Amino acid sequence: MTEPVDDPTAERLAAALRCATVSTDDPREADSAAFDSLDAHLLASFPRVHAELELRKFAHSRLYRWPGAEPDGVSAILLAHQDVVPVDDAERWTHPPFAGVVDDEFIWGRGAIDDKSRVLAILEAVESALAAGLRPRHSVYLAFGHDEEVFGGEGAERMAEHLRAAGVRADLLLDEGGVITAGVVEGVRQPVATIMLGEKGYATVRVSVTEVGGHSSMPGRQTAVGRIARAVSRIQDHPMPLRLTPVIADMLSRIREVMPAPRRRLLGLAKLAAPVVTRVMATQPQTEAMVRTTTAPTVIRGGVRANVLPQRAEAMVNFRILPGDTVESVLAHCRKVVRDSGIRLELVGMSSEPSRITGPGPAFDLIADLARAVVPGIAVTTGIVPGATDSRHYDDLAGTRCNFAPIVLDERDLGSIHGTDERISRVNYARLIEFNRRLIEHFATVGPPSTSGADG
């Protein structure tokens, strides 16, 4: 049973939450002062880390190198991000989102779960390891981005480039993504830890058309607005096919072990009747996202006045791409289903391919063991991050990638991430620190889970 964190530890996280390090689409609009005060807070709170680790900054991103006792090899790259998403309606929060309120049970504020608790928990663990005289056998990197919520182009991408150029190859890449959920997986009473092994790809397709325009009293067969509406509806009505990927099959077989008998029987069919399983999963948005490339028309615009024919109309459709599909195959699929040669289809903004999924190996077993030690009685499964995280920039730099934090969340907590009343319990924060502490202790005493690493 983990004891809740004490007041000084809770306060160190709360003080970080008071720095409103909100990510903006335009980096020039970011509040540099907020990142500077977070920087000052981290320097003051973790003196040993900043005296003994090498710190290199990329804009406001922080890349730490903790040199190992042995010159070769890298145990891990531990990722977390310092930035947060904006707050939609601060009035609806119990405590102001950037007040960093601490009460008997919770630490409140934007970033309490996503993702400052992970930044601070890693630093707490390294600080206490240094105080205890521990040193990793092989080097450990900490990489804390400052623009994860806007795709990491200035932070994670540059830090990863730096590591790549230095020839770094780690055994483990650990980042946010999966957590331990309670009462979320239907029919399973035990809390379930989902250690995610990769993430889906991302693409936005712009659908646009240009027409001559004119008076709306003589419109012809269809206007630009009508053509776009039809194209979008064709894309939405013809989603990419359902598919059971190996990682989701693995996830299901692990969940099956802890399910009550009737459900277990259904899942037992997974191998024989993947189409049945995927069809059942497709009935809920949360599970459908695991078995297909999702299609979400998010923006539509066109026209200026009710009595003027629009000259231009466009829409944006956002796709989250399942391993096996690609950015290119999504675009080709759109072309095929729209069936209107006058419609222009093109990729806009950030796009990324689905990550390479490494099977659960020794590094996965290590993370699973640590999760079980910190939260006894859990079931452990695998999965894939439906969104995009900074770790995609580091995909090629580690043998095994895990997206996971050992905090126990219910539906309400999950809704607070990017939503209202984000907070972390003192117990969950203690679990996070303890998990990182044990991970670092493992690196210090028995070395990495395998010895393939190389430090440049």
Shortest distance (Å) from residue 387 CB to Zn ion: 8
| Rounded Cα gap, residues 401 and 40, in angstroms | 31
Nearer to Zn ion, 390 or 455 (CB): 390
Which residues share a beta bridge with 385? 199
Q: Which of 83, 114, 175, 314 binds Zn ion (CB under 5 A)?
A: 114
Measuring CA to CA, which residue among 164, 79, 161 is closest to residue 391? Answer: 79
Helices 246-256 and 261-268 meet at what angle, rounded to 10? 150
Q: Which of 78, 79, 115, 338 binds Zn ion (CB under 5 A)?
A: 115
Encoded one letter per residue, x for contact with Zn ion by CB under 5 A and - for no contact, window 148-177 reads ----------------------------x-
Nearer to Zn ion, 176 or 421 (CB): 176
Q: Name which of residues 325 to 344 contact Zn ion (CB under 5 A).
A: none
Total residues in contact with Zn ion, by rule CB under 5 A: 3
Determine the interface stretch with Zn ion among 34-42, 112-120, 178-186, 401-409 (rule: CB under 5 A).
112-120
Angle at alpha carbon of residue 129, lines to 124 and 133, rounded to 5°: 150
CA 332 to chain centre: 27
Shortest distance (Å) from residue 111 CB to Zn ion: 9
314 in contact with Zn ion (CB under 5 A): no
Nearer to Zn ion, 176 or 395 (CB): 176
Which residues share a beta bridge with 143? 63, 79
Shortest distance (Å) from residue 113 CB to Zn ion: 8
Nearer to Zn ion, 84 or 232 (CB): 84
Decide if 382 contacts 192 (C-beta within 8 A): no
DSSP codes joined into one string, 17-38: HTS--B--SSGGGS-HHHHHHH
Shortest distance (Å) from residue 337 CB to Zn ion: 33
| Rounded Cα gap, residues 147 and 154, in angstroms | 7
Nearer to Zn ion, 27 or 213 (CB): 27
Q: Name which of residues 263 to 282 contact Zn ion (CB under 5 A).
A: none
State in Å, rounded, how far the first CA of the chain is from the last one. 40
Helices 7-17 and 32-45 meet at what angle, rounded to 10? 160
Nearer to Zn ion, 179 or 433 (CB): 179
Decide if 431 contacts 438 (C-beta within 8 A): no
Shortest distance (Å) from residue 108 CB to Zn ion: 18
Measuring CA to CA, which residue among 394, 321, 410, 355 is closest to residue 156? Answer: 394
Close Cβ partners of 43 (under 8 Å, ≥ 6 residues apart):
50
CA of 37: how far to CAs of 31, 187, 424, in Å?
10, 46, 22
Determine the interface stretch with Zn ion among 93-101, 107-115, 290-298, 311-319 (rule: CB under 5 A).
107-115
Nearer to Zn ion, 60 or 442 (CB): 60
Determine the interface stretch with Zn ion among 66-74, 113-121, 290-298, 303-311 (rule: CB under 5 A).
113-121
422 in contact with Zn ion (CB under 5 A): no
Shortest distance (Å) from residue 130 CB to Zn ion: 26
Shortest distance (Å) from residue 177 CB to Zn ion: 9
Strand segments, DSSP code E, in 20-99 are 54-58, 61-66, 74-81
199 in contact with Zn ion (CB under 5 A): no
Determine the interface stretch with Zn ion among 108-116, 290-298, 346-354, 408-416 (rule: CB under 5 A).
108-116
| Rounded Cα gap, residues 32 and 43, in angstroms | 17
421 in contact with Zn ion (CB under 5 A): no
Active centre residues (catalytic): 83, 148
| Rounded Cα gap, residues 440 and 448, in angstroms | 10
Give contact residues for Zn ion (rule: CB under 5 A): 114-115, 176
